[in-house]
Amino acid sequence: MSGLSKADEAQLKAQLQHAVVACTERCLYQSAKWAAELLNSLPEDDEDGSDTDVDSPMPDSSPPSTPIAVTHKNPRESRLEAREAHKYLLAKTYFDCREFDRCAAVFLAGSLSPGPSAPTPPQPKRGAKGKAKVGATPKAKVADDDIHRHSEKALFLALYAKYMAGEKRMNEECEMILGPQDGGVTPNKELPVISAILKEWFSDPPEDREPQGWLEYLYGIVLARGKNEKDALESFIRSVHLYPYNWGAWQELANLLGSVEELSAVIPRLPQNIMTFIFHIYASQELFQSSDQVHSTLLQTLSYFPRSAFLKTQQALLHYHAKSFEEAEQIFSELLVSEPHRIDAMDCYSNILYVMGLRPKLAFLAQVASATDKFRPETCCVVGNYYSLKSEHEKAVMYFRRALTLDRNFLSAWTLMGHEFVEMKNTHAAIESYRRAVDVNRKDYRAWYGLGQTYEVLEMHSYALFYHQRAAALRPYDPKLWQAVGQCFGKVGKHMNGIRAYKRALVAGSYYDTNVAASFGSGEGSGLGGGILDPEVLYQIALLYERINDVAECAAYMELVLAQEEGPDYEDGSGDPGPGVGVTPTTSKARLWLARYEYMRGMYQRAMELCNELSQDGVEVEDAKALMRDIRARTQSSAKA
Amino acid sequence: MATRYLTAQKICVVVLVKLYCESFLPSSATIPVLSFILSQVQPAGPFSRQLRGHEAKYDPSISIRAFEEVLQKLDAIMPGRTLLDMFLQRLWDVDSFDALCDLFGGLGKLLLHDRPDYEPDPGEQPQSRITLAKTSPLGAFVRRASLEFTRLQFEAAVKLWVSFVKYRAPTIRWVHRLPDLAESGADINAQKMDLQPGDGLFDVAYGSLYDGDQGEQALGMDDLERMLDFQIEKLQRIGDRVPEEMKKQFRSMLSVKGVALRQSYLVQFFDAWRAGDYTSAFENIHRYYDYSVQTREKIHYQYALLHMAILQSEFGCFGEAMAAISETIATARENQDMNCLNYSLSWLQHMAKAHPEQLKLHGYRGVLGSDREGLAFLKAKAKETRVYSLLSNTLLEEAKAAIASGEPTTRAFEAVYQASYLHLREYVHQNFGHQMVMLSTLWSRLGISHLTDVHCDMLIDCYQEVSPLEEGIRAQTRRAFSEMQNGYFDTALRRLQFLDPSVRRTLKFQKLVYFYIGLIKLKRAIRRTDWPACTSLLTTLSPDSTSDSEVSFLLWEARIDYLLARGLYSEAFNSIEDCAAKLKMQNADVLQRTTVLLHKASLFIAVGKPERAFSVALRAASQSWKSRLMPTLWAAVGVLATVLNEVGEFRAAGRLVEGVLPQALEYTDQELTATLYSRLADSYMGLAGQEDVASPAGVRKRAKNVSLAEMYVERARTCYKRAEDMYGECEQLMKKAMIARLRGDEKRADEYAEEHNQVWDQARERIMDTATVL
């Protein structure tokens, strides 16, 4: 069943094992964890042979076949590493004790003062290959000897520690979440220094040095934090070419991709290996692309790693994005059973349970999560979601806030907190929360949509329109978003645009219903063929047509609304009622409109029928009765005449 | 961490309340169910405890069995089902954490909404349910429960849920009987996901269920606080330390919680204080108030100082106590805390009374002017602020002052009865004991020992529960003293030696009891002329600065007795002179001053200078008469009679003694009675001597007087014998022998002499026995 040959599998294992060690050596704990999880999700070997198998491939396969091992062969690096082994151990222990400055000082003692007080200089848009900038050199020059004296591993550890120290200080300087001083723009003050050193290091390589990819990764991070995304992207691509098993680099890469187009532009430039597959799945998921191709890639990868919780999570999330909640819930539930202590991505699970309204289960999830670790942002989000579902918004906000205190970049908490603020009618706080969410991750359509909604509440429709459009661009097949766009267009008086947006919503809706991509532009006809259309959307389109005085079109859409009561089979004349929506307030409103319209046109007979239907349905009875009286009066008077 | 209020069994009570409200209970079940619920939700308070008496005590840690027992007996409205079935059905309907949240979320519907804009849901049938008024006991409980649940953090709520699951687990055997509940497990989610105990996920969620860690959640914070409050009340008001086993139990309860309640330091403080552990008491009071500062800032400061002052004085550091109390008063004035101010003033007043010289030594000049002004001020303040306990305290203090200064007893009675009225009307139960002690003092000074005993017994039997332990001990010692006066030394000693063990746990009381036992033994030793025992007892009992003036005076009195009995007259004289000077300076209790006078007179008689004794005794008698100090009056009369006998005024002496003897008999002091009888016999003897033997009438009169004298000698002898006064008894026997010889009855005289020797020898033997026992 596994798509990998024994030899491939053994090699993969060796590489992953090495990745775990290498990441741990560089204190990239999350990446190490990820690699270790993947390593352990490979199918188990035969039971009896396992204890020998685990050991046997290692010694013979790892040294020759892995490219990393080759880089390790680099004599210069080996020499340097051997020379500073003790210092490295010291630095590593400092790092493990979270004494970052001390760790950095082991290798870079005295060469660096804390970063200059000037804000992060915008990186030059020229290629990264360019000579070091004049302004940054004086300090780096001092360090020149230092940085080349150390092995790459040591340098990485030192600089990474420096980066971490900066992050730590940044977090310490941050104000209370959404407090008066909390602007979300506190910079990491170490970035310029690290950037300068790295630039120096890259610009002037000794002949016998072979880059290992780690420093490129760090440089990419620094560039990305400095909002120099293009160079950061390049740096990450270089890094994953040099060392593909550092998941952190892939993750950062995915964060830099804002759209599917960018993803497809990047893909060809990546190395062809299993990691790229996984990256592709991950990036597609992050970009809400749940196409068949992604699914098949995912299934294939899953066959290699049948027990990978990470891949299963991606699968569930893809289902979630495609709005097939049951499947997603099922996968997450299995995950929970198999790994009860795993909290990663449980906030997404809680979102699914929230949408499905499974409150007891959500409560259970929250119970499990908080039993494992109540100070994880994921746990706090789960609990917050639970309280939100119980309409205890203050408590929910408290927990989201706690999640954010634990991790300021925890995206879903920002968005969810925004939702809660909307519920609490605190629009300003809601806008700020959404804004922060968007700042953290521009791909979060819910935050964009939320921003739009909030501005709509504030009656700022043209503003809201922008955000709805962003949301709709991120998820072009979500009718809700298009509907919102259409509504905004209607409000700002761009009726034709509104109608187009609504029609798009219709198409998107039918796309999800039938899972067939319907073509645009074929107008209302195609909508009907796709199954049930949302009568509300149709009604809105009709109203917009009425606004631009296209009464005939309006009437046609009103008829369409009525048609949805019975479902698509109505037109076939087969008689048996299809799966229609039945009588709803919307259809009744449409019916009343039509009745009035027919009455105006003088089609008293049809108007009378419609009024009778209205009376039977028991909605808008008063209006219908009044209209009927008018009709009778007219018919009688015309009869007299 | 413990939840503040809610515990698993409170949830069960909530379920029961809901059951009560939402369904018809058969009328026969209503009262049992309601009383059961009330016994669980009754808020703590002095009144409720008083009213409920000893049965139906609040028990915060009842098991689910208690619910079973109560409910199983009651039938539900449905035939064939007990109320327990319905209760369990509802209990097990809470099948997930979410359901628990819903249970509490829906509690608001049980309450009567008085808001006009409230509209009931159309779905509910208002007639079929009971709505609770917000202020009713059940309503208050429901509101509190729902509020506390809302306040819970998520993790705490989950913990509560798990403890609830654990709590109701024993009822599973009942649940299996109910068809519609047969399948449901503890958690619907676990069941849906097909989880079993032992699965990883189940262990994460309910891991603590099977730890066997019983009782972690059995007590809420509220219960713990109540428990500590109980302890504090015991320690502070009653002055009783809890037994060691109970303390251990409390400690284990507290340690499980992992939370440090501030009150526990207060408990430790009082405990250390009562145990006489000065340093840890000090440490703990500081710790308690350090932790209190964070919650209520400066309000606690004056109370901290007040406690400190009392603590310091209790351990004899009067200088520090003075400083602390002065600052207390200043702070209380500044913060306008009338209660604290009045209390500290009253305490200071009390201290000035109890330890006048020590306070003077440390510069106490009296904040409120003279005593009387001080009391008047406090009384006015207490009335103004309606602090009845302070008012009654002040009244009792006033009575005490009136007694001590020798004013007419009516004033003292008036004050005591005013206080008594207050106690009954305003239910100032903690002062009942004080009142009883005061009354018994009054009666004893009036010489009516029966009423004294009755009041002491009343305190011991009826008010011991509510009054401080110290009052009870005072009553016991007083009883013991009166028994001793009556000659029942063994009963008295047994009474004190077998007091309730709780007394022994507090150092101060322990010392007090020890002192009284020693005193009784000392008196007995003096009467038995057991000098080695006397010296050893006198040295062990010698008072220090902390013992109160009453105790040291009693000891002094015993010492004078001892010195007189041994014939160490000059030493006795010096001691008496010192004491008299000191008492005069202190403006001390009139009883003590008269007693000093009496001793002085006895000394003069003993050294054979009755003329000098006369004026002293007369002064003592007139003073006693003025202040209605009957026992001293009688003793003074006894001394006077001696003097008169010495100077040959036999008739006057006889008339004096006969005047007081009937009253004195009622005051069952054997020694006093014996003395009086003996004086009477002396005067009759004297009269007999004065008769003219020449005339037959004279001879007859002499014979009559002699026989009267013999009768009184015999009576005196019985009394002396009961009082175990060896010298007195021997003296009377000698007199009898003399009378017999006078009559010419030599044989009888020899018998008496023999008896005399026997008594003497017995006394010697007794001394030897006690010496060997010692």
DSSP code per residue over A436-457: HHHHH-TT-HHHHHHHHHHHHH
Cβ–Cβ below 8 Å for B158 and A366:
yes
Element (H, E) at A41: none
How far off is chain A from B194, nearest CA to CA, in Å? 10
Q: Is B155 on the interface with A (CB under 8 A)?
A: yes
Q: Is B200 on the interface with A (CB under 8 A)?
A: yes
Helical residues (DSSP H) of A120-256, grouped into ranges: 137-149, 152-173, 191-203, 214-225, 229-242, 247-256
Q: Are residues B168 and B298 in the same domain?
A: no
Whole-complex ipTM: 0.72
Which position has the higher pLDDT, B241 or A56?
Answer: B241
Across the interface, which of A338, A363, A392 has its CB nearest the CB of B98?
A363
Contact list, A336 vs chain B (CB under 8 Å): 193, 201
Task: Tell which of B100, B154, B206 to mutate to test the A interface (max A CBs under 10 Å).
Answer: B154
Residue B615 tokens read as: 């004026």
* CB contact at 8 A, B256 and B222: no
Q: Which is nearest to B482 in space by CA: B495, B471, B470, B469?
A: B495
Rounded to whole angstroms, how far apart are CA atoms A383 and A394?
A: 12
Across the interface, which of A340, A366, A395 has its CB nearest the CB of B201?
A340
Closest chain A residue to the Cα of B199, Cα to Cα:
A337
Structural domain contains residue B455: no
What DSSP character marks residue B237?
A: I
Q: Are residues B161 and B237 in the same domain?
A: no
Q: What is chain B's length?
A: 774
Contact list, B207 vs chain A (CB under 8 Å): 371
- What residues contact residue A388 under an 8 Å CB cut-off, 6+ apart? A354, A396, A416, A419, A420, A423
Name the domain boundary from B449, B478, B506: B449
- Taking residues A303-310, report their average pLDDT: 86
Per-residue pLDDT, B249: 76
How far off is chain B from A614, nearest CA to CA, in Å? 26
Size of interface A-B (CB pairs under 8 A): 69
Closest chain B residue to the Cα of A360, Cα to Cα:
B98
Query: A511, exposed or middle or buried, with CB in 10 Å at 0-12, 13-18, 19+?
Result: middle
Structural domain contains residue B212: no
Closest chain A residue to the Cα of B152, Cα to Cα:
A395
Cβ–Cβ below 8 Å for B154 and A386:
yes
Contact list, A364 vs chain B (CB under 8 Å): 96-98, 187, 189-190, 205
- How many domains in chain B? 3
Q: Are residues B307 and B389 in the same domain?
A: yes
Cβ–Cβ below 8 Å for B98 and A360:
yes
Cβ–Cβ below 8 Å for A370 and B158:
yes
Rounded to whole angstroms, how far apart are CA atoms A430 and A441?
A: 17
Helix, strand, coil proportions of chain A in percent (round to 5)? 70, 0, 30
Cβ–Cβ below 8 Å for B204 and A368:
yes
Cβ–Cβ below 8 Å for B154 and A372:
no
* CB contact at 8 A, B436 and B471: yes
* CB contact at 8 A, A69 and A58: no
Q: Are residues B300 and B374 in the same domain?
A: yes
Q: Are residues B270 and B394 in the same domain?
A: yes
Cβ–Cβ below 8 Å for A337 and B199:
yes
Helix, strand, coil proportions of chain B in percent (round to 5)? 75, 0, 20
Task: Tell which of A364, A379, A387, A394 to mutate to test the B interface (max B CBs under 10 Å).
Answer: A364
Please say if the pLDDT value at position A59 is more than 60.
no
Q: Are residues B94 and B231 in the same domain?
A: no
* CB contact at 8 A, A200 and A147: yes
Please tell me the least confidently modeled range out of A390-404, A446-460, B257-271, B368-382. Answer: B257-271
Please say if the pLDDT value at position A180 is more than 70.
no
Task: Tell which of B96, B97, B98 to mutate to test the A interface (max A CBs under 10 Å).
Answer: B98
- Sign of the alpha-carbon torsion through B666, B670, B672, B675: positive
* CB contact at 8 A, B635 and B676: no
Q: Are residues B198 and B236 in the same domain?
A: no
Q: Which is nearest to B658 in space by CA: B635, B677, B639, B642?
A: B677
Where in the sequence is the domain holding B252, given as residue range(s)?
Answer: 221-449
Give me the amino acid identity at A37: E
How far off is chain A from B373, nearest CA to CA, in Å? 60
Q: Is B147 on the interface with A (CB under 8 A)?
A: no
What DSSP character marks residue A515?
A: S
How far off is chain A from B11, nearest CA to CA, in Å? 18
Residue A136 tokens read as: 């940054």
Q: Which is nearest to B83 in space by CA: B132, B28, B128?
A: B28
Residue B116 tokens read as: 């006009």
Q: What is the 3-state secondary structure (H, E, C) of A550-598?
A: CHHHHHHHHHHHHHHHHCHHHHHCCCCCCCCCCCCHHHHHHHHHHHHHH
Q: How far is CA B693 from CA A124, B443, B680, B738, B741, in A?
A: 149, 47, 21, 19, 17
Q: Are residues B279 and B353 in the same domain?
A: yes
Three-state secondary structure call for residue A134: coil
Contact list, A368 vs chain B (CB under 8 Å): 201, 204-205
Cα-flanking dihedrals φ and ψ of residue B505, to 5°?
-80, -10
Cβ–Cβ below 8 Å for A363 and B97:
yes
Cβ–Cβ below 8 Å for B200 and A368:
no
Closest chain A residue to the Cα of B105, Cα to Cα:
A390
Cα-flanking dihedrals φ and ψ of residue A460, to 5°?
-110, 80
Tokens 């440490």 locate to: B283
Q: Which residues pair with B132 in a beta bridge?
A: B111
Contact list, A392 vs chain B (CB under 8 Å): 150
How far off is chain B from A368, nearest CA to CA, in Å? 5
> Which residues in chain A are classed under CATH 1.25.40.10?
324-407, 478-582
How far off is chain B from A243, nearest CA to CA, in Å? 36
Q: Which is nearest to A281 in space by CA: A262, A301, A308?
A: A301
Give me the amino acid identity at B658: E
Element (H, E) at A435: helix A427-440
Structural domain contains residue B494: no
Per-residue pLDDT, A117: 40
Contact list, A361 vs chain B (CB under 8 Å): 189, 192
First to last CA, chain A: 86
Rounded to whole angstroms, how far apart are CA atoms A49 and A53?
A: 6
Residue B528 has, within 13 A of its CA and on its CB side, a CA count of: 23
Q: Which residues pair with B197 in a beta bridge?
A: B199
What DSSP character marks residue B238?
A: I
Structural domain contains residue B438: yes
Per-residue pLDDT, B364: 67
Q: Is B108 on the interface with A (CB under 8 A)?
A: no
CATH topology of domain A324-407: 1.25.40
Cβ–Cβ below 8 Å for B203 and A340:
yes
Interface of A with B (CB under 8 A): 333, 336-341, 359-364, 366-368, 370-372, 374, 383, 386-387, 390, 392, 395, 399
Residue A245 tokens read as: 């098993």
* CB contact at 8 A, A403 and A377: yes
Three-state secondary structure call for residue A226: coil
Cα B383 to the chain's mean position, in Å? 26
What DSSP character marks residue B462?
A: I
Q: Which residues pair with A538 in a beta bridge?
A: none
* CB contact at 8 A, B657 and B675: no
Across the interface, which of B95, B99, B204 has its CB nearest the CB of A340?
B204
Residue B106 tokens read as: 């829906």
Rounded to whole angstroms, how far apart are CA atoms A408 and A24?
A: 24
Q: Which CATH number fits domain A478-582: 1.10.150.120, 1.10.3720.10, 3.40.50.2300, 1.25.40.10?
A: 1.25.40.10
Across the interface, which of B154, B161, B205 has its CB nearest the CB of A368?
B205
Query: Which CATH number goes with the domain that contains B313?
Result: 1.25.40.10
Cα-flanking dihedrals φ and ψ of residue A10, to 5°?
-60, -40
Please say if the pLDDT value at position A135 is more than 60.
no
Per-residue pLDDT, A136: 38
* CB contact at 8 A, B20 and B33: yes
Q: How far is CA A522 from CA A528, B509, B617, B672, B718, in A?
A: 11, 102, 134, 129, 134
Tokens 């191709």 locate to: A293
Cβ–Cβ below 8 Å for B189 and A359:
no
Q: How far is CA A476 from CA A495, B133, B419, B616, in A?
A: 20, 56, 88, 120
Q: Are residues B267 and B410 in the same domain?
A: yes
Q: Is B187 on the interface with A (CB under 8 A)?
A: yes
Across the interface, which of A338, A364, A390 has its CB nearest the CB of B205?
A364
Where chain B has pLDDT below 50, the residues are: 1, 44-58, 182-183, 214-217
Q: What is chain A's length?
A: 641
Q: Are residues B376 and B410 in the same domain?
A: yes
Name the domain boundary from B403, B426, B449: B449
Residue B543 tokens read as: 């008072």
Q: How far is CA B622 from CA A121, B582, B630, B642, in A?
A: 108, 21, 11, 17
Confidence band (pLDDT; 50, 70, 90) for A1? very low
Task: Tell which of A350, A367, A383, A395 to mutate to test the B interface (max B CBs under 10 Å).
Answer: A367
Closest chain A residue to the Cα of B99, Cα to Cα:
A360
- What residues contact residue B548 under an 8 Å CB cut-off, 6+ apart? B354, B355
Structural domain contains residue B565: no
Task: Tell which of B104, B164, B189 to mutate to test the A interface (max A CBs under 10 Å).
Answer: B189
Please say if the pLDDT value at position A67 is more than 60.
no
Q: Is B205 on the interface with A (CB under 8 A)?
A: yes
- Rounded (10°) angle between helices A292-304 and A274-286: 140
Q: Are residues B179 and B232 in the same domain?
A: no
Cβ–Cβ below 8 Å for B207 and A363:
no
Q: Is B161 on the interface with A (CB under 8 A)?
A: yes
Per-residue pLDDT, B232: 77
Q: How far is CA A346 from CA A165, A341, A415, B528, in A?
A: 29, 11, 16, 91
Q: Which is nearest to B686 in space by CA: B662, B733, B653, B640?
A: B653
Give me the amino acid identity at B596: V
- What residues contact residue B641 under an 8 Å CB cut-off, 6+ apart? B653, B654, B656, B657, B676, B679, B680, B682, B683
Three-state secondary structure call for residue B197: strand
First to last CA, chain B: 56
Cβ–Cβ below 8 Å for B201 and A363:
no
What DSSP character marks residue A486?
A: H
Name the domain boundary from B157, B182, B206: B206
Closest chain A residue to the Cα of B154, Cα to Cα:
A383
Residue A135: Cβ within 10 Å count: 12
Tokens 């000049």 locate to: B365
Residue B85: Cβ within 10 Å count: 20
Which position has the higher pLDDT, A150 or B533?
Answer: B533
Per-residue pLDDT, B257: 56
Cβ–Cβ below 8 Å for A367 and B158:
yes
Q: Are residues B175 and B228 in the same domain?
A: no
